[in-house]
Chain A
Amino acid sequence: MDQLFAALGHVLSPAMLLLIFGGTFVGIVVGALPGLSATLGVAILLPVTYYLAPAEGLLLLLGIYTGGIYGGSIAAILLNIPGCPASLMTTLDGYPMARRGEGGRGIGIAAVCSFIGGTVGILALIFISPLLAKAALSFGPAEYALLALFGLSAIVVVVAKSVVKGFIGVCIGLLLATVGMDPMVSVPRFTYGSIELLGGINYIPVVIGLFGLREVLISAFSNEKREQVRQTVRRVLPTAEDMKIILKGAFHPCWIGTLIGALPGAGGSIAAIISYNRAVAASKTPERFGTGITEGLTASETANNASIGGAMVPLMTLGIPGSSVTAVLLGAMLMNNITPGPMLFSTNPELVYTVFLGMMAANTAMLILGLACAKIFPHVINLPQSALLPCIALLCAVGAYAMNNSFFDVGLMLAGGVGGFLLRELGVNPGPVILGLILGPIAEANFRGAMELSDGSLLIFVSTPLSILILALTAALVALPLIRACLARTA
């Protein structure tokens, strides 16, 4: 209880609130800009957290994550372009609303729904995490190695369009993670005589390059002219009638979003799609969906923000991120010497409570900023690419340099950006690459640890019911797309 109050005092301190509100605002702006995602926002501000206390840095990033998911709805409503993948379904009812001149109302409804969904997701995180963490205390190296394999398989199956390309991405990420001194017998691997590479590849510049610079290069290449927002946002607060519909329709999106978010690999976009389709199927007037109704916005916006709390469950309890953005958050935690997992709950409960309460604060900040700043968002979206892209590129360079004051890291960032661009052109998603790079040392250390315990016998990976269960789940996950493809061919 003392730790809870200490965490509360910490979160409510002026400096922390400033960071949470600042992070959430940045997140909303980044999310609102078409083409830029919450992951990019978290990635390019990652080095800043190095200069803050661990909890402060983490809450800054969680604010960006929360704001980013909501921010995506603004471009979806005003421009019919999802600001981030999670707001894809928001375009269906948000844009027709804006075309009727009710863009402000749509943004207001999205803010309230995101707040409700976010709150339920965080409450689920608060109540489920300690239970799961307790169960995870019995995990040994074999279970952790299998869990890493499960996380990597999950991101491949869900994020990548092709399973083969997804696993190629994972292999590239894991191979990058082997660069440097071998952790057990101190033998250099792929270092080519470079002193900088002896310590391994610093994943922070690579993350910045893969998610930040790569997006800049894609936008600079395509040279697409974006549609400009013409209308002005007037009334933002939802009406009493809207509130009645929101409260009635938020229940199902809340649990769908939380559950889908907690599944490794799944995220806000899938949660919103499932929730929207369920709402259409359950409605007595399904033909009204897609014409700009509150029910449609409620289904997508509540679910995608509920997925945030859900997505934090595997990260906090098992240390296994299930998506690109939580992979970057894991990177931030490791960088600040926080090792997420079951031990964190017993060794540093104050930090765990600070994260939980901070997420609540970020969710509240999102509601306040979402409603208060709705009128300036159309101007933000209208920023020309010629102004936006150099600013993001500069931030990438400074961010990569700032952590170690190293020009080598700037080079790594550039390599990450160019590599990410080329991989994209070959159809390889950067998500599995990054997850492989971050989880690589964990996977290798636990795999080799388990093999040592068993004197080189692979049977250790099927020696406990838990390891068999994780292995079976992984196999089922990988087999799923293959079965689906076979069924489609037969049909």
Chain B
Amino acid sequence: MNILFRNRETLGGALFALLGVYLLREISTFTVPMEKVRSLGPEFFPNVLAWALTLLSVALFIQGLRLPPAPIIPAAYRGRIGLRPLSVLLGLASFIFLAEPLGFVLWALLFLAVVQYMLGERRPFALIALAALITAALYLVFVTALHVPLPRGPLPF
């Protein structure tokens, strides 16, 4: 376990090698046409790439073993629970589930206000003003100018 977490190279090498082996197993399940009229089948290119990925990952792992131990998590990230990036990610993921029922305008207003708050903005006017301004600008560009059918929701626009 210690070898695995020795530095970013050993961890990366192990993870990519795992991915390579998994892909090789997946490729072996590809259905290859019985009458293989062509010289190379659909499995050839992914196979070469998966082998290359596995071998390169092993090389990276060996490189890591020759390097001194180093922290995997950068100093700048240590001690943080990552609420800020998590709020951005969850907020964006909510677009997939909430944009249809809420509509783009309501969802964007909520998203901007909540994520701004999570990133440290505490002035209510700034929160609301920027959310309204950016939502209106995006609506004008995408819906009015480019005719992109963004989800409407309960609002008439």
A residues whose Cβ falls under 8 Å from a Cβ of B: 48, 51-52, 162, 164-165, 167-168, 171-172, 174-175, 178, 182, 184-185, 187, 189-190, 213, 216-217, 220-224, 384-387, 389-391, 393-398, 401-402, 405, 407, 410-411, 413-414, 417-418, 421, 425-428, 444, 447-448, 451-452, 455-456
Cβ contact within 8 Å between B95 and A410:
yes
Q: How far is the CA of A213 from the CA of B60 in the complex (A)?
A: 27
Contact for B77 among A48, A221, A417, A451, CB less than 8 A:
A221
A383 CB → nearest B CB, Å: 10
Instruction: Report, as a range, how many residues of chain B touch the other chain.
Output: 35 or more
| Contact yes or no, A164 B63, CB < 8 A | yes
Q: Per-position contact with A for B79-95: 1 when CB-CB < 8 Å, else 0?
A: 01010110111011101
| Selected contact of A178 from candidates B9, B46, B92, CB within 8 Å | B46
Residues of B within 8 A of A178 (CB): 45-46, 49
For A452, list chain B residues within 8 Å (CB). Answer: 38-40
A188 to B95, CA, bound (A): 29
Q: Would you call A405 and B149 a contact (CB within 8 A)?
A: yes
CA distance A39 to B26 in the complex (A): 34
Q: State A220–B82 Cα separation when bound (angstroms).
A: 8
Is the Cβ of A390 less than 8 Å from the Cβ of B88?
A: yes
Query: Is A187 within 8 A of B31, CB to CB?
Result: yes
Q: A51-B148, A187-B33, A189-B30 are contacts. A426–B56 as well, Cβ < 8 Å?
A: no
- B42 and A182 contacting across the interface, CB-CB below 8 Å: yes
Contacting residues, chain A, for B157 (C-beta < 8 A): none
| Main secondary structure on A side of the interface with B | helix
Q: Which residue in chain B gives the minimum CB-CB distance to A171?
A: B53
Give the interface of B toward A (CB within 8 A): 8-9, 11-12, 15-16, 23, 26-27, 30-33, 38-46, 49-50, 52-53, 56-57, 59-60, 63, 74, 76-77, 80, 82, 84-85, 87-89, 91-93, 95-96, 99, 104, 108, 111-112, 115-116, 119-121, 126, 130, 134, 138, 141-142, 146-150
- A390 contacts B8, C-beta separation under 8 Å: no
Give the 6 A-B residue pairs with the shortest CB-CB distance, closest first: A182-B42, A426-B12, A456-B39, A386-B119, A390-B115, A386-B121
The secondary structure that dominates the B interface is helix
B41 near A396 (CB under 8 angstroms)?
Answer: no
Interchain residue pairs with CB less than 8 A apart (23):
A162-B63, A175-B23, A190-B46, A213-B88, A216-B85, A223-B84, A384-B120, A389-B115, A390-B112, A390-B134, A391-B112, A394-B108, A395-B138, A398-B138, A401-B99, A402-B142, A405-B149, A414-B92, A426-B8, A426-B11, A427-B9, A448-B40, A448-B44
Contacts of A390 in B (CB 8 A): 88, 91, 111-112, 115-116, 119, 134
**Contact yes or no, A164 B60, CB < 8 A:** yes
Bound state CA distance, A451 and B92, in angstroms? 44
Distance of A256 Cα from B99 Cα, bound (Å) = 50
Extra contacts, 9 of them, besides A162-B63, A168-B12, A187-B32 (Cβ < 8 A), are A164-B56, A165-B12, A168-B57, A389-B115, A401-B150, A402-B142, A418-B89, A421-B85, A428-B12
CB distance from A2 to the nearest CB of B (A): 31
Q: How far is the CA of A10 from the CA of B91 in the complex (A)?
A: 41
Q: Are the C-beta atoms of B56 and A171 separated by less than 8 Å? A: yes
B138 nearest CB across to chain A (Å): 6
> What is the bound-complex CA distance between A246 and B96, given in angstroms?
52
The residue that B146 contacts in the complex, of A51, A187, A444, A447, with Cβ under 8 A, is: A51
- Tell me the smallest distance from the CB of A258 to a CB of chain B, in Å: 34
- What's the least CB distance linking A30 to chain B, in Å? 15
A52→B146 CA distance, assembly (Å): 8
Closest to B82 in A: A221
Q: Are A394 and B56 in contact (CB under 8 A)?
A: no
B28 to chain A minimum Cβ distance, whole angstroms, is 12
A418 to B33, CA, bound (A): 36
- Chain A neighbourhood of B56, CB < 8 A: 164, 167-168, 171
Q: Is the CB of A221 within 8 A of B80?
A: yes
Q: Which residue of B lies closest to A457 (CB)?
A: B39
Instruction: Tell me the minimal C-beta distance from A388 to chain B in angstroms.
Output: 9
Q: A51-B147, A175-B23 are in contact. Are A393 and B91 (CB under 8 A)?
A: yes
